[in-house]
Structure 1
């Protein structure tokens, strides 16, 4: 009996040593062939990129599709005809895409003309600004030495401009070819992702069931239960966050539009849409949109630009203290410091996309760590005050 116990212990030790040795060998191989491994991973990412885009599109569109299913086409479930009941999902998908396309077309038709108008105003105002600058130079810098120094600086600056322009022209053909290839790849990836997203939305229950079967077939039940628990938590957190963030952005855009019209500020629609879109980024979004907005108003009236900054600061306080906690609030479940960390780290690592998904990602991690910590403390019978 004792001999069997010793053999079992030796067997376990050998098994542990083999696992550790395998990990060390794999790690050494990866480090030695890091360049080749990076190239392989890059090629794999290129291949699966449309799938990743499709999953992201399907996840976001599923939130809107569920609204159509539960609020608009719910009556089809009560129909006696099976054909009519089966129409619920296709009609919901169609309504979802029509709504998104309609929003994009509407924004394009309203925003682009105003944007072109603001650019035209800027171009028309530039000669006046140059004349004012020239008059100021003549008034305050009338000496020949100063004017000669300014003239020499301008000449040197133009020489550098022409030199850089010549270099750019020399590389333009390569740049045009590269841009053309990139645009073609983007269009191809988008079309493939769109088709996959429609398929995922249409067959999401079947795909989820198949995934569960695969997991339970090849993994331990406890492991699969943990994976599914994390999946449910991630789905709820991301869905609530995206829905709440979009609702908050729409409310903020509407309030901005109403306020700008009350105070007779120019380009109310253009700037309100800009503020609404950028406010999808938590905390910093509205301030990011304020920068180009102030520049646009500054062209028309510097005084109104100052008043707009004051108006946005007040609106941001209203949004941060009342709208955000009510609309997004519990869907995130993070304190202000963790929100800041999520945005900073996500933005540094993945840019704009990282800033958008950083908060719900950190929220999921935070909840998992909190639950695991509480379970450990409960098992140990420890209460921390």
Structure 2
């Protein structure tokens, strides 16, 4: 009788799951639309959580620096450690932004002015190159005669293009304004979360264990511990890696006498935060700047870029970042492409550590199942 009741319960649960799955798939479009609205409403809180998590890495450094305040006999001094650490975090960010505005923007403006001043010469060089190529290929005369330009049609199409671009510009402006507002709200929320992180985590754990099975909560906490360790190590490593690459780039450009050293090193360092694709785009962008400003030193800069990339790929990245994720090159590329295609820039940044967490959990479960089956697979 008991076995029959268990079988009946199991069958009922399976039928219920099947019905729920069918209903979800049947109304998938509406569910996704509703989920999108919900995410849009809570996006400031999501921004706040993300900002607080990243800034917490820097806040912990300041809390260690101010750890002497914990030994004070005055209660007010002990209570000031957290607010003082948060204040130092945002002061650090302000200093970074001001330094970028003071050092990088003038160099960028100078580079643009220099490029604009030399643009007629660049155009003339390109024109001479095209004319020489056309002469060498024997296309002169007949080639240009076969090209007919309908200026009225070009003007009409240009007007249509401009008309079609206005709604997109308006939509972009609206989305960008919403993004700025969400970020501002997220920063305020992140300040509250940083100030009360232990209390918020305690409330979350109480809610989990109160409403969900204990075994499930234990597994979820284990997953969160692995995720926190992986993400913390990854983001810390990427920031340190970017700083090292930027410092090496700055030193190399100064030694080689290449102008705009701070701007070039900032481009290479910041783009290094985006795995695989970032360093390539940063190298191309910085090379174009050097080629247009000081073309006689472009070859030296290419050699410097090759040296920096080799040092980063062989020495810096594996030691600083690689140990925190435990993924091979092919899996990093897979996680990067998958995260970027699904979630854009956010997926590009967070895709690798997220996949590393999944890989760690799957590997642990696989080893446990093999051990239970008493199976040993030799490499």
Q: Does TM, normalized by the shorter one, top 0.5?
A: yes
C-alpha offsets along residues 331-379 of structure 1, whole Å, 9 cap, x if unaligned? 1222222222222222232233222112211221122122222222333
1:8 to 1:77, Cα distance in 2 relative to 1, 3 A: same
Name 1:336's counterpart in structure 2.
329
1:1-385 mapped onto 2 (5 Å cutoff)? 7-71=1-65, 73-135=66-128, 146-147=140-141, 149-150=143-144, 153=147, 155-156=149-150, 162-171=155-164, 173-385=166-378
Distance in 1 between residues matched to 2:25 and 2:214, nearest whole Å: 34
Q: CA offset at residue 11 of structure 1? A: 1.9
SS of the residue 1:328 aligns to: helix
The answer for unaligned runs of 5 or more in structure 1 is 1-6
What is the TM-score with the length of structure 2 in the denominator?
Answer: 0.91
- Between stretches 315-324 and 170-179, larger displacement belongs to 170-179
Q: CA offset at residue 110 of structure 1? A: 1.4
1:162 to 1:118, Cα distance in 2 relative to 1, 3 A: farther
Distance in 1 between residues matched to 2:170 and 2:47, nearest whole Å: 25
Distance in 2 between residues matched to 1:363 and 1:338, nearest whole Å: 9
Q: CA offset at residue 380 of structure 1? A: 3.0
1:341 to 1:170, Cα distance in 2 relative to 1, 3 A: closer
Q: CA offset at residue 133 of structure 1? A: 4.2
Distance in 1 between residues matched to 2:103 and 2:263, nearest whole Å: 8
Q: CA offset at residue 200 of structure 1? A: 0.8
Q: CA offset at residue 137 of structure 1? A: 6.2
1:349 to 1:139, Cα distance in 2 relative to 1, 3 A: closer
Distance in 2 between residues matched to 1:69 and 1:289, nearest whole Å: 34
- Between stretches 269-278 and 179-188, larger displacement belongs to 179-188
C-alpha offsets along residues 240-282 of structure 1, whole Å, 9 cap, x if unaligned? 1111110111011000111111112232211110000011123
Distance in 2 between residues matched to 1:234 and 1:259, nearest whole Å: 37
- Between stretches 305-314 and 79-88, larger displacement belongs to 305-314
1:381 to 1:348, Cα distance in 2 relative to 1, 3 A: same
8 A Cα contact 1:141 1:147, kept in partner: no
Distance in 1 between residues matched to 2:233 and 2:250, nearest whole Å: 26
Q: CA offset at residue 131 of structure 1? A: 2.8
Alignment RMSD:
2.5
Across the two proteins, how many residue pairs are aligned to each other? 377
Q: CA offset at residue 136 of structure 1? A: 5.4
Distance in 2 between residues matched to 1:64 and 1:253, nearest whole Å: 19
Q: CA offset at residue 59 of structure 1? A: 0.4
The answer for unaligned runs of 5 or more in structure 2 is none
